[in-house]
Structure 1
Amino acid sequence: MSEPAARVLFMGTPDFAVPALEAVAKGPYDVVAVVTQPDRPQGRRRVLTPSPVKRAAQALSLPLLQPDKVRRDGALTQIAALRPDVLVTAAYGQILPQRLLDIPRLGCINIHASLLPRWRGAAPIHRALLAGDAETGVTLMEMVAALDAGPILSARAVPIELEDNVGSLHDRLAALGAQMLVELLPEYVSGRVKAQPQPDIGVTYAKQLHRDDEWINWANRVAVVHDHIRGLSPWPGAAAKLRGADFKIWAARPIVDSSLGTPELPGTLRLNGRQVLVSCLDGWIELNSLQPAGRKAMTADDWARGVDADGLRFSSLEPTTDKGGAQS
Structure 2
Amino acid sequence: MTSIIFMGTPDFSVPILKGLVENNYEIKAVVTQPDKKVGRKQQVTKTPVKVAAEELNLPIYQPTKLARSEEVEELIEMHADLIVTAAYGQFLPTKFLNSVKIAAVNVHGSLLPKYRGGAPIQYSVINGDQETGITIMEMVKEMDAGDIYAQKAIKIESDDTTGSVFDKLSLVGRDLLLETLPHIIAHPDEKTAQDSDQVVFSPNISKQQEKISLTLTASQANNLIRGLNPDPGAYLMLGNSRLKVWQAQVSEEKTTLPAGSLVANDNRFAISFAEGTVLNLLEVQPAGKKKMSIQSFLNGQGSKFKVGEQVVDG
Distance 2:149 2:59 in 1: 28
1:92 to 88, 97, 114: 88
1:155 to 148, 151, 156: 151
Q: State how many pairs are aligned.
A: 310
The residue number in structure 1 matching 2:211 is 215
Distance 1:315 1:112 in 2: 37
The residue number in structure 1 matching 2:224 is 228
Distance 2:191 2:313 in 1: 46
Distance 1:22 1:78 in 2: 23
Distance 1:216 1:47 in 2: 30
The alpha-carbon distance between structure 1 residues 192 and 36, as it changes in their structure 2 partners (threshold 3 A), is closer
Contact 1:187 1:193 (C-alpha < 8 Å) held by counterparts: no
Aligned-partner residue type, residue 15 of structure 2: P
Aligned-partner residue type, residue 33 of structure 1: A
The residue number in structure 2 matching 1:286 is 280
Q: Which whole-Å deviations, capped at 9, do the CAs of 1:256-284 have from their partners, x for residues lacking one?
A: 14xxx524111112335412111112321
Distance 1:173 1:41 in 2: 27
Deviation of residue 316 (structure 1)?
4.3
Q: Which SS does the other structure have where 2:197 is aligned?
A: coil
1:130 maps onto 2:126 in alignment? yes
Q: Percent identity?
A: 36
Contact 1:263 1:284 (C-alpha < 8 Å) held by counterparts: no
Deviation of residue 73 (structure 1)?
4.8
Contact 2:255 2:278 (C-alpha < 8 Å) held by counterparts: no
Distance 1:217 1:68 in 2: 36
Q: Which whole-Å deviations, capped at 9, do the CAs of 1:98-133 have from their partners, x for residues lacking one?
A: 011001100110011111111110111111111121
1:69 maps onto 2:65 in alignment? yes
Contact 2:38 2:45 (C-alpha < 8 Å) held by counterparts: yes
Taking only aligned residues, the RMSD between alpha carbons, in angstroms, comes to 1.5
Higher relative contact order (CA 8 A, sep 6+): 1
Contact 1:20 1:177 (C-alpha < 8 Å) held by counterparts: yes
TM-score scaled by structure 1? Answer: 0.90
The residue number in structure 1 matching 2:255 is 262
Aligned-partner residue type, residue 296 of structure 2: D
Q: Which SS does the other structure have where 2:198 is aligned?
A: coil
Q: Which SS does the other structure have where 2:150 is aligned?
A: strand
1:315 maps onto 2:304 in alignment? no
Contact 2:269 2:294 (C-alpha < 8 Å) held by counterparts: yes
The alpha-carbon distance between structure 1 residues 237 and 263, as it changes in their structure 2 partners (threshold 3 A), is farther
The 5 Å alignment of 1:1-328 reads 5-191=1-187, 194-257=190-253, 262-271=255-264, 273-281=266-274, 282-307=276-301, 308=303, 309-311=305-307, 312-317=309-314
Distance 2:299 2:41 in 1: 33
> Is there any run of 5+ residues in structure 2 with no aligned partner, and where?
none
